[in-house]
Copies of this chain bind each other. A is one copy, B any other.
Amino acid sequence: MKIVTSPAEMQSIALDLRQQGRTVGLVPTMGWFHEGHLSLMRKAKDVADSVITSLFVNPIQFGPSEDLDNYPYDLERDKALAAATGVDFLYAPEKDSMYTDAFSTTVHVEGVSEGLCGDARPGHFDGVTTVVAKLFNQTLPHFAVFGQKDFQQLAVIRQMVRDLDFPIEIIAHPIVRESSGLAMSSRNTYLKDEDQDAALSLSRGIANAKELAADRSATVEKIKQSVQQDIEKHQACEVEYIEIVNATSLAVCDNIDSESVILLAVKINNSIRLIDNSFLLASS
């Protein structure tokens, strides 16, 4: 596995790979790899000849009161994990090479970026779409693999790719969970032992919602209330949002159907922000 830190070198490698007729798969990450990331890398390996994993803790997608400075980072640890998963290029650019002082361009997606995490984290999705546009142009992939845990992010990126005609197929990969049910996240590293039960309230809430949805009598409102009550039994939990939306438009559902997704964001101990989601009528 080759380590690349320069955007210009990365782009030159990507152009060479394409020139050689090799297909390229990109897995954009902020590092601190867990099995969720590794499953994205394996998926990219399945579909593309060469896999690039980018590792960049993108400052412009963090709000001023968010956890940029504490975001977990260990390049040596991540190198070993990516190499063992068969990644060909680990692309870890320096912040200054991504954003010079003169940097002044923003890619903005309306609509699907509004509400949910877009409301809770103003400017977040502009930071995401702008860095992803840069990463796409630096790595020129045929495929880019994103996790479904960041469900709204995936919808926003699909919209950008469609609207700006990037010649890239976006592949969504299912959430990977701990045996406890907790959705894997780099931010789980912030959880202390005594936070575990509170953190599990998200996946338990989803299981509860799916049971209610399965019997077809519960309304959207009733399901949301039930999940909220369950989660708020935990003193440590503060619900940021619970919404049931259409998977493509992210418009709030009036009724549950096969395209309905429940999306949750919960703060644990007023500091650790966890998200989770699931199609309501899916079996897994």
A interface with B by C-beta (< 8 Å): 7, 11, 15, 18-19, 21, 102-112, 129-130, 133-134, 137-138, 140, 159-160, 162-167
In the bound complex, what is the Cα–Cα distance between A159 and B130 (angstroms)?
14
User: A163 and B103 in contact (CB under 8 A), knowing A18-B18, A19-B21?
Assistant: yes
User: Which of A106, A112, A140 has the most chain B CB atoms closer than 10 A to its own CB?
Assistant: A106
Chain B, residue nearest A107 (CB): B107
Rounded to whole angstroms, the CA-CA distance of A259 and B19 in the bound complex is 39
CB-based contact A111/B107 at 8 Å: no
* Chain B residues whose CB sits within 8 angstroms of the CB of A165 once the complex forms: 7, 11, 134, 137-138
Which of B19, B111, B137 is the one whose CB lies under 8 Å from A164?
B137
Distance of A110 Cα from B15 Cα, bound (Å): 29
Q: Which residues from B are CB-within-8-Å of A111?
A: 102, 104
9 CB < 8 A contacts A-B: A11-B167, A102-B162, A103-B163, A105-B159, A105-B164, A106-B110, A107-B108, A137-B166, A137-B167
- Which of A105, A106, A109, A133 has its CB near the most chain B CB atoms (within 10 A)? A105
Q: Which residues of B contact A137 (CB under 8 A)?
A: 164-167
Q: Are A164 and B107 in contact (CB under 8 A)?
A: yes
**Contact between B15 and A167, CB atoms less than 8 A apart:** yes
Cβ contact within 8 Å between B15 and A160: no
Interface centre among A133, A134, A159, A160, by most chain B C-beta atoms within 10 angstroms, is: A133
Chain B residues whose CB sits within 8 angstroms of the CB of A104 once the complex forms: 109-112, 159, 163
**In the assembly, what is the distance between CA of A166 and CA of B110, in Å?**
23
Expressed in whole angstroms, the Cα–Cα distance for A173 and B109 within the complex equals 33
Contacts of A164 in B (CB 8 A): 105, 107, 130, 133-134, 137
Look across to chain B and name the residue whose beta carbon is closest to the beta carbon of A114.
B104
- CB contacts (< 8 Å) of A19 on chain B: these are 18, 21
- How distant is A24 from chain B, measured CB to nearest CB, in Å? 13
Contacts of A109 in B (CB 8 A): 104-105
Cα A129 to Cα B21 in complex, Å, equals 30
Q: What is the minimal beta-carbon distance from A129 to any residue of chain B, in angstroms?
A: 8
> 4 shortest A-B CB distances, which residue pairs?
A105-B163, A137-B165, A104-B110, A104-B111
